[in-house]
Structure 1
Amino acid sequence: MSVKKEIFGIHPSGKEVYKFEIVNKQGMKAVITNFGAILISLFVKDKKGNFQDVVLGYDSLEEYLDNHPMFGATVGRNVNRISNAKFELDGKTYLLDKNRGNHNIHSDKEHGFHKVIWDFEITGENSVCLSYLSCDMEQGFPGKVYIKMTYTLTETNGLILSYFATPNKRTILNVTNHTYFNLGENIFSTEFCIHAKSFTPVDEDIIPTGEIREVKNTPMDLTKYSYIGDRLNANYHQLQIEKGYDHNYVLDHPHTGFRLIAQTRSMKSGIHMDVYSDMPGMQFYTSNSLKNTIGKNGVVYKKYDAFCMEPDYFPNAINTKGFEKPIFDSNKNFISTTMYQFY
């Protein structure tokens, strides 16, 4: 196991940005940058013994500086949507950037966690710890927040993402990673299984309605391994809104800690990925908005070429009755762990 550091590019501020390569004894390799705490590449062995890069991304820092679709990004302070780009906390209304119509998505597309340079520390032979101090009212959220995010590559081919954030006052924290995975050709050659008997339906703006609906007897049911290609055109309104999945699943056993929450496998490559998390929900997204984006090695990324599995608190939870609120303070830290296990 080893960690290699090299310069990835020069930020417009003049600061050097680095990338880190972690390689285990099996040859699996994770490539990370301290710009946005982004996962750039993840090389996993396929059924033929060849290593495939199973995540979407860019070759250069300059491309990540542009308004990219969150490839591999650490998202915060709040992932996903907040209706009308505002929320109330302790009797005060906070206004956020209206960056998706009248609403807010992923906090701030220009000043979010994915657009800042993180401090770094190589912690042993298999992990990189990234840290950032978010100032009071940064992105429109109250309180200072010191966050540490650690990438760890195991000898058993697991990539662990650990989050630890400490605010100095009551605020919202809902942090996750927005990696786009491609285990084979596209989502049509991939089977999905999500350990969730319910999901949160959305309106035309992809804002949860507040309902928690059972997946049984609907195209949202992924409780058993399923191909989803034939479901994208199903006569089911939730899938017609964006012609794909962009939904929060209400995960089984939400208060039992770190557990298996989802599984995927590609028959084309033979690569399997299991997802573990301690979060109550997971956003499942089938790259419905990708539009011929040129990525690593000149590859053109198209609609449905990849999928995201983002463990988190439910979207718009702060404004929705009945949803667990992602509110933290100096006596309650945000702590979460996700693992992507490959075999």
Structure 2
Amino acid sequence: MKIEENYFGLVDDKTVFTYSMSNNNGIKAVLTNYGATLVNLYIPCKNKKIDVVLGYDNLENYMINPKFFGATIGPNCNRISKGEISLGNKQYNLEQNDNENNLHSGEKGFHNVIWDVSINEDENYVEFYHYNLDEEQGFPGNSKIKVKYKLTEKNELVISYEGLSDKDTIMNLTNHTYFNLSGHSNKDATNQELWLKSKYFTPVKDSKSIPTGEIKSVKDTPMDFTTTKKIKSQINEKYGQLEFCGGYDHNFIIDKEKEGIEKIAKLSDENTNITMEVYSDTPGVQFYTGNFISGGPVGKENIVYEDRCGVCLETQFFPNSINIKNFKSPILKAGDKYESMTIYKFVY
């Protein structure tokens, strides 16, 4: 399939492009090398195509992008308490950009990088490359990073990550797309139904959203998505965890049956009859209901996005896992290879 490259803008004399790839079933994904970002994802629906991801029509708004729409997040996604980590008997102090915490690696994170690009039309993928300098975001190590987006004839958007560092470091990459299977212009994503392969979650201490270290059962709580239900069904209950975060913004622990890729979530919309199945090899997934979307730049097609008009399923290591001993470690040893994969498969 032909992959179209189009001019998107200039940043410091560097050219930014969009890349459009389609499959034979009518799905189309549009990416940009600014932030290795997913800009559009069109799914056939009732004799038309609808864009099911939130985003912007211009590069300038992606350079602001306070909600990280569609971006690749790294070297570390989610939060690190007080921006403090210790590696190799050395203390590193990261940018505190969210309630005294480091969120999504700070302002110099991968979401604000202009990536190099390779296109493979025979296999229908776009691969982004970045060489990250030692302590560029505060993390140790010169790192080589790859993020590949592949669109298959099985209606899968496959996102593959690779990383290699010359020092022990943290490597915990994710994609921060906000989905609304009714279309990005729909005002309420909580009408969608969700199933999660997760019997446990990691509760947070307070509104700063740092986990306590406890592994807590979802049973008999609003956090239970082991049986499919509408997201809105319990989101406004008087439950401390939901009140801390203004809704769902929690790490759910995947009930791993094996190493490698497995189905971890399913999101469905009754208006469009579109279902998205999520497959991943990560130990956790951050389920976020877009509780604080409003107030950012105007979205695509001049849509003013409001709170809870998109939801995220961010596959990852647990938040602050570098500082909590009973969480699986996100440390990548020098010379070892980081590899991870997440698949979003669409049924319609």
Instruction: Identify if the C-alpha distance between structure 1 residues 150 and 320 changes in structure 2 by more than 3 Å, giving closer, same or farther.
Output: same
Compute the displacement of 1:189 (Å): 2.0
1:306 and 2:310 are equivalent in the alignment = yes
Q: Deviations over 1:75-128 (max 9, x none)?
A: 00100000011111111110000101211110112x110101000010234100
- 1:183-202 equivalence runs, <5 A: 183-184=181-182, 185=186, 186-202=188-204
Q: Distance between the aligned counterparts of 2:250 and 2:128, measured in 1?
A: 29
| Secondary structure in structure 2 of the residue aligned to 1:137 | coil
2:134 to 116, 133, 136: 136
Moved more, 185-194 or 151-160: 185-194
- 1:1-343 equivalence runs, <5 A: 1-11=1-11, 13-46=12-45, 48-109=46-107, 111-125=108-122, 126-184=124-182, 185=186, 186-204=188-206, 205-253=208-256, 255-293=258-296, 294-343=298-347
The answer to whether the 8 A contact 2:190-2:289 is kept is no
The Cα RMSD (Å) is: 1.1
Amino acid at match of 1:19: T
Q: Distance between the aligned counterparts of 1:290 and 1:75, measured in 2?
A: 17
Q: Distance between the aligned counterparts of 2:302 and 2:131, measured in 1?
A: 35
Instruction: Identify if the C-alpha distance between structure 1 residues 189 and 285 changes in structure 2 by more than 3 Å, giving closer, same or farther.
Output: same
The answer to whether the 8 A contact 1:292-1:303 is kept is no
Q: Deviations over 1:125-181 (max 9, x none)?
A: 410010000000110000011001100000121100000111111000100000000
Amino acid at match of 1:264: L
Amino acid at match of 1:315: P
Q: Deviations over 1:43-62 (max 9, x none)?
A: 0112x132110000000001
The answer to whether the 8 A contact 2:191-2:231 is kept is no
Q: Deviations over 1:289-327 (max 9, x none)?
A: 011542001011100101000000000000012001111
Q: Distance between the aligned counterparts of 1:92 and 1:237, measured in 2?
A: 36
The answer to whether the 8 A contact 2:19-2:31 is kept is yes
Q: Distance between the aligned counterparts of 2:31 and 2:209, measured in 1?
A: 30
Compute the displacement of 1:285 (Å): 0.1
What TM-score do you get using the length of structure 1 for normalisation? 0.97
Amino acid at match of 1:9: G
The answer to whether the 8 A contact 1:199-1:249 is kept is yes
Amino acid at match of 2:271: K
What TM-score do you get using the length of structure 2 for normalisation? 0.96
Q: Distance between the aligned counterparts of 1:2 and 1:218, measured in 2?
A: 48
| Secondary structure in structure 2 of the residue aligned to 1:189 | coil
Q: Deviations over 1:268-306 (max 9, x none)?
A: 111100000000000000000011542001011100101
Q: Distance between the aligned counterparts of 1:305 and 1:266, measured in 2?
A: 13
Q: Distance between the aligned counterparts of 1:67 and 1:31, measured in 2?
A: 17
The answer to whether the 8 A contact 2:146-2:161 is kept is yes
Q: Distance between the aligned counterparts of 2:143 and 2:238, measured in 1?
A: 44
Q: Distance between the aligned counterparts of 2:282 and 2:200, measured in 1?
A: 15
Compute the displacement of 1:254 (Å): 6.3
Instruction: Identify if the C-alpha distance between structure 1 residues 98 and 301 changes in structure 2 by more than 3 Å, giving closer, same or farther.
Output: same
Q: Distance between the aligned counterparts of 1:216 and 1:84, measured in 2?
A: 31
Q: Distance between the aligned counterparts of 2:295 and 2:138, measured in 1?
A: 32
Percent of matched pairs sharing the same residue = 44
Q: Distance between the aligned counterparts of 1:72 and 1:232, measured in 2?
A: 24
Gapped regions of structure 1 (runs ≥ 5)? none
The answer to whether the 8 A contact 1:33-1:40 is kept is yes
Gapped regions of structure 2 (runs ≥ 5)? none
Instruction: Identify if the C-alpha distance between structure 1 residues 255 and 102 changes in structure 2 by more than 3 Å, giving closer, same or farther.
Output: farther
The answer to whether the 8 A contact 1:189-1:268 is kept is no
The answer to whether the 8 A contact 1:6-1:19 is kept is yes
